[in-house]
Every structure is written in C-alpha cells, then in structure tokens.
Chains A and B, each alone.
Chain A
Amino acid sequence: MTVARRTFLKGTLAVGAVGVAVGAGLLAPRRVLAAWPKSAFEAKSVQDALKAVVGTDLTEASGKVKVKAPDIAENGAVVPVTVTASIDGVDAMAIFVEKNPQPLTSSYELSPAALGFVSTRIKMGKTSDVIAVAKAGGKVYSARKEVKVTIGGCGG
C-alpha cells in the first residue's frame, strides 16, 4: 500500500466522521432553544409533570427553596406566589399546584446572570399545596406550602 493511498483513506474516514457528527447535532452551530413543554403542562399528576419538566420526580426538600404565598387565598383565580432559591447555579424553576387538574402552572429557564427568584400569580382550583422546584447542578430541590382557597379559580 502506498502512503498516498493511506492518506486518502484517512481523509475519507475523517470526512465521514464529521458528516455523522453534524447529522447527530453534535456540531450544530447554535444551541436549539427548548420549546413549550406540552407534555409537562398536560400531565395530570405532580410526578408526571416533574418528570416532563425537570427530567425526574425525585426532588430533595430543601430549606433553601422558599415558597411565599398567602395562607388563605380569598380568590383562587389570583394567588400571588414568590419562589426564592438561594442555591448557586439555579438554571430552572417550576411552580405546581398539587390539586389542580394539570398541576404545572409554569416553568422558568434562567441564564447564569439570573437569580433564583420568580414571582407571579396563579390560579388554584381548591385548597392545595403549592410546590416549587429549583434545579441546580443537575439536582432538583423543592419546597411546598399549603394555600387554603375559599373560592376556586379555574372557572365554572
């Protein structure tokens, strides 16, 4: 075998490998942004919603995640919730209402510049725990707080 043939073959293999890598998305020019997590929003249990949105339903209850919400919500249609995660490197957070027909209310992707903090207002169908999770370093931390609801907020 001549050296030239060996070099030629090596070149072909290299091109082939690069082709496969591009096809597999390993050499994709930019990170594909996540889309709206449909299965997470349609999940009917907290466990299924957790698996769909953060990849696991195993969470570690942590005092570093705080859920601020009223003890009693006069109007279940507008319940203010503030979640704070005092953990380094939080890249995702989510808020669930355990007893809502679809527990996931919202999920958040945070850049490294963002703090583990989100505040919003949610609808609750009835008295239930509000569960917040924060994902950092691949681990999922959680906290929950019961909110009593006098008038349900899902309509009907």
Chain B
Amino acid sequence: MASTIKMRATERNGVVVVKALMAHPMETGQRKDKKTGKKIPAHYITEVVGEHEGKRVMTAYWGPAISKNPYISFKFKGGKKGEKVRLSWKDNKGQSDSLEVAIR
C-alpha cells in the first residue's frame, strides 16, 4: 500500500532539514455533513515523531487545528548524507503510518 507520507531530508552545512507532507483529513469534528446535517466526527493526527538513525529528534503533538493534508518541517544537527530519517504519525482513531528516507 502506498504511504500517506512524502518526505525529503536534505543535509547542508551540518544541518538536516526534513520536510514532510501527510495525507490525512484532519477533521475537527465541527464540520457538518451537508446532506445529513450531522457533524463529521473528529479524525486527526495527534502525534508525529521524527527520528534520525533510531534516535528521536522531534515529537509533535497536534490538535484538530492543523490543516488538512498536514505539512511539517523541522531541522536537526549531526545528520550525514545516507543516514536514515523516519517519520511516524498516529491519529485519534488509532491509525498510523511511517516512512523512512535517506538523507540526501
């Protein structure tokens, strides 16, 4: 199955910049279904974890106010080209996904 994550990790001058885009509805739970008039249940990513070579670099706690198909970018020192960066997310319904890329 295709990943819900697209990510690129680039190293320059000792700093690795990670940019990632995730496919996710990020429903707030406030939006109403136009046909039924009922509120669409909240469904959003609650946690995003960034790791470099197995070590956690960043943990993001998200609420429903992060936009649909969320984007995140963060930076860290000490990564070298070829080393691995992994991004994992999980949401309030227990769904999750993860992707690993090599630093270029």
A interface residue numbers (CB < 8 A to B): 33-34, 36-37, 41, 77-80, 82, 97, 100, 102, 104-111, 113-115, 117-123, 153-156
Contact = CB atoms under 8 A, between A and B. Distances in A.
A99 to B, nearest CB: 12
Contact of A111 (B28, B55, B66): B55
Contacts of A102: 63, 65
State the majority secondary structure of interface residues on B: strand
Contacts, number: 109
A113 B31 contact: no
A100 B65 contact: yes
B71 A108 contact: no
A114 to B, nearest CB: 5
Nearest to A118: B74
A123 B65 contact: yes
A86 to B, nearest CB: 12
Contact of B66 (A34, A105, A110): A105
B74 A114 contact: yes
Contacts of B15: 115
Contact of B78 (A77, A113, A123, A156): A113
B17 to A, nearest CB: 8
Please classify the interface of chain A as helix (H, G, I), strand (E, B), loop, or mixed, using the class held by over half of its residues. Answer: strand
A107 to B, nearest CB: 5
14 contacts: A37-B61, A77-B67, A104-B65, A106-B66, A108-B60, A110-B74, A113-B77, A118-B58, A118-B60, A120-B71, A120-B72, A121-B66, A154-B28, A155-B32
Contacts of B75: 114-115, 117
A113 B71 contact: no
B47 interface: yes
A25 to B, nearest CB: 20
A102 B30 CA distance: 12
Contacts of B10: none
